[in-house]
Amino acid sequence: MERIVWFLTGNAGKLEEARHHFASMGIEVRGLEVPDGTIVEPQATSLHDVATSKIQQALPHLPQEGGMLMVEDAGLFVSALNGFPGVYSSYAHETIGCQGMVKLLSHLVSEDPLQAKKLRACHFEAVAALWDGEQILYGHGVCPGSIAMELQGDGGFGFDPVFIPSDLDEHGEPLSPETLGALSTHGQTFASVSLETKHAFSHRRRALDDLLQQLPRS
C-alpha cells in the first residue's frame, strides 16, 4: 500500500516541491487542511522549535485514515543583516518582499563580482519534521548563495527571484563563492531555473532527503 504523508503547509510551492520529491520513494504527499486559526505560529527563534510546535498543534487533526504528518519550516538568512529575516521570512516576504530585500542591500555593491557575492552572502535553511506514528523525525538542509542585484525570473515562490545559489561540486555539495563548480546556475536565480535544477541545490530537497534516509524503505 502506498504510504501517505500529510503535509501541513499554506504554501502551494512547498507542497509541489515535496510531492515531486517524495514521489520517487512511492510516498504520496497530501495537503493537510485545518480550520483557520488552528495553528498558531510560535514566536520561536529556531526553525526546529517552530516545526516542533506546528507538528504538536497539527497532530489532533491527522485524518482517521492515518498516515504520517509533516511540517517544514524554512527561512532566508542574510549575513549582512545578521541573519534577518530568518524565522521571520514569511512576514518579511509579505511586507517588504523581494523588492525590499534588494533595497535593503543596495549599498552592498562591488565591481568585483566575487566581492559582491561575499558582501551579499546569504543562505536558505529548512527543517522538515515528520511524525511517523511514534516519534518526530527531523531533517535539516542548507543552501548557501547570494542576493541578486535585482529581481530575476518568474518561476518559484517567495524569495526565489533574488536568490542565486552557490555552485556545487561533483558530489552535489555547495562550494565557497570563489570556487567554480561542476554544477552552476551561472548567476541565475532560483526563479529563473527549472524545478529540477532548483532541487539539485535546494535546502528543502536536502532537508527532505535527510528525513527520507531515516524512514524505513517500505
Binding site for ligand ITT (CB under 6 A): 9-11, 14, 73-76, 89-90, 93, 124, 156-160, 190, 202, 204
Question: What's the Cα-to-Cα distance from 207 to each of 62, 81, 99, rounded to whole Å?
Answer: 22, 24, 27
* The one catalytic residue among 73, 112, 154, 167: 73
Residue appearing with cell numbers 570563489: 178
Closest CA relative to residue 201, chosen from 163, 173, 177: 173
> Shortest approach of ligand ITT to residue 213 CB, angstroms?
20
Spatial separation of the C-alpha atoms in residues 62 and 55, rounded to whole Å: 10
| Whether the Cβ atoms of residue 22 and residue 29 lie closer than 8 Å to each other | yes
> In the complex with ligand ITT, which residue's Cβ is closer, 99 or 110?
99
Measured CA to CA in angstroms, residue 151 lies from 8, 12, 48, 52, 102 at distances of: 29, 21, 30, 33, 8
The nearest distance, CB 56 to ligand ITT, in angstroms, is 15
Please identify, using beta-carbon distances, which residue of 3 and 93 lies nearer to ligand ITT. 93
What is the smallest separation between the CB atom of 48 and ligand ITT, expressed in angstroms? 12
Instruction: Please say if 73 is a catalytic residue.
Output: yes
Query: Smallest distance from the beta carbon of 199 to ligand ITT, in angstroms?
Result: 10
Other residues' Cβ atoms within 10 Å of the Cβ of residue 21: 21
Of 37 and 216, which has the nearer Cβ to ligand ITT? 37
Which CB, 22 or 124, lies closer to ligand ITT? 124
> To the nearest whole angstrom, how small is the minimum distance from the Cβ of residue 8 to ligand ITT?
7
Nearer to ligand ITT, 21 or 204 (CB): 204
Helix 12-23 / helix 203-214 crossing angle, nearest 10 deg: 50
Integer angstrom CA distances of residue 104 from 74, 99, 141, 149? 21, 9, 26, 11
> Minimal CB distance to ligand ITT: which residue?
158
Report whether 89 contacts 203 (CB < 8 A): no
- Strand (E) positions, the chain? 3-7, 27-31, 68-78, 121-131, 136-147, 163-165
* Active site residues per annotation: 73
